[in-house]
Amino acid sequence: MREGDQFVVTRLDDSLVRCLISQISQEIAAKRVDFVVLDQSIDTSSLTGRLLFHVLASIGEFERELIKERASEGIARAKAAGVKFGAKSKLNGEQVAALKAEFATPGMDRSHLARRYGIGRATVYKICNS
C-alpha cells in the first residue's frame, strides 16, 4: 500500500473486526491509505468515515479483550474443578520407570524404545532426561 491508495473490502464480518481491525487502522494511518467498506458505507477519506471506523475498531478491541478475559476465567474455573488440560499420558508410572531403566542401559536403541512404548523418540528423551 502506498499513500493515496484505497484498501477496499466488501463487508466487515465478525472475525475481521475482532482480529484485524486495530492492525488495519494502524497500517492505514501510518501509510495514509483510505479504507473503504462497501456494504457498511465506511470510507475513511471522510471525517465521518474515520470516526465510524475508529468506533468499530474500539468495539472490536473491547470484544476481543472480553473474550480473552472470559476464556481465562473459564480455564481457571476448570483447573480449580480438577480438569486436566493437554493430551493424556500414554505411559503409566510403571512403564515410565521401566523406560528409564532401559534407557540407562548402554547401547539401547532409542528408536526401538520409542516403538515399543508407542511414543516418539523426542518423548523418550523428554521422559528420561527429566
Tell me, what's the pLDDT at 122? 92
CB 119 within 8 A of CB 130: no
Compute mean pLDDT per 10 residues along the chain, 130 residues long, and list them.
79 65 75 83 85 82 89 96 88 91 88 90 89
Tell me, what's the pLDDT at 11? 76
CATH fold for the domain made of 6-80: Rossmann fold (3.40.50)
Cα–Cα distance for residue pair 32/72, rounded to 1 Å: 37
- Quick check: pTM over 0.75? no
Return the amino acid letter for 82: G
Tell me, what's the pLDDT at 17? 62
> Residue 45, Cβ neighbours under 10 Å: how many?
12
User: What three-state secondary structure class fits 34?
Assistant: strand
What is the residue extent of each domain of the chain?
6-80, 93-128
Tell me, what's the pLDDT at 25? 72
